[in-house]
Chains A and B, each alone.
Chain A
Amino acid sequence: MFRGLSQKVYDLTGINVYLCHQCGICSGSCPLVKSMDIPPNMVVRMVQMDMNEVLNSKTIWICASCFNCTVRCPRNIDPARIINALRIIKQREGVYAVDLRKIEKLEELPQIALIAASRKLTG
């Protein structure tokens, strides 16, 4: 059943993306959807369609892993983890979303922001 991207996501997370019935609840629950270029349900759809373009979206870096969508998804398929898996695919290719040496106001940020960002946004 799985081919390209959907297979990769399955390998990383054990999630079967084809369970999604595109209800859109994830996107409706997402606190950051307005800053995203592709809403979460669309991301899931694109994985279903094995569309590698989704790997270039900003969404995969903006998602804060807040798990709002996860708690509410009626099909229990955990969109947050799917998005995180896409991010991990990029990270493992060596793509970093931020340059740690160029962060604004780094001295005043709490460490946890920096540590979280380096784990989520760098490889």
Chain B
Amino acid sequence: MGEHVKNVKMVKIYIMGKEYEVPEGLTIMKAMEYAGYRFIRGIGCRGGFCGACSTIYRMKNDYRLYTGLACQTTVQDGMYLVQIPFTPAEKPKYNVDELKPTGTTILSIFPEIARCVACNACTKACPQNLQVMDAIQAIKRGDLAKAAELCFDCISCGLCTIRCPAEIIHYHAFQLVRRLYGKYIAKKAKHLEERVKEILQGKYDEELEKLAKMTIDEWKKLYEERDIEK
């Protein structure tokens, strides 16, 4: 081990069954990199937003199967972990403009939602701590506003989806719920409407034109000097 880890407490973790000693306090992602893994897949934003780094783990003397985002969860001594790939599913085709905002619309695209047995495995799996089962149940009974509210923070990591005995594809269904909710149910944001109108009227054409002609360095400068909303 290199000089820089002196004085740092080490913890023992098991990655796909192999034992490693890594410094305490690292995220799973950094710990894996420390252990010599190089991520090609299963990584994205490193900030807890993209949902690419789903990880499952167990602790010593505990039957529970925990889940987490590798970029957010810190390692603990005695962690048995593995990164899991995204739970695959065909992307359904639909046109939000032609759909009615009802529960049966969603059920007709994702009828497997009817198979939910309320086991709650999805809720336990969600690294965002969403009430996933309640959201599915809300869809089942047609309460889209409730469902959209419950799944607003879903990052489509697919961890619930791989745990579901009813083979429901939560992340696609939730996306549809939010789309329907946004289009038909949620109150329209007035400032957004106004801004879109302004754009369509060409109010920003000139500025955009200017941006398009800038070099990368000029962009960077502009970005660094921007007003940050507080």
Contact = CB atoms under 8 A, between A and B. Distances in A.
Interface of A: 100-101, 103, 106-109, 111, 114-115, 117-119, 122
A108 B115 contact: no
Contact of B104 (A101, A111, A118, A119): A111
Contacts of B112: 100, 118
B140 interface: yes
A108 B111 contact: no
Main secondary structure of the interface of A (DSSP, over half): helix
Contacts of B142: 111
A106 B112 CA distance: 12
B114 interface: yes
Contacts of A100: 111-112, 114-115
- How many interface residues does chain B have, given as a range? 10 to 19
A111 B103 contact: yes
B104 A103 contact: no
Interface in B91-144: 102-105, 107-108, 111-112, 114-115, 140-142
A106 B140 contact: no
A9 to B, nearest CB: 23
A118 B111 CA distance: 9
Contact of B140 (A101, A111, A117, A122): A111
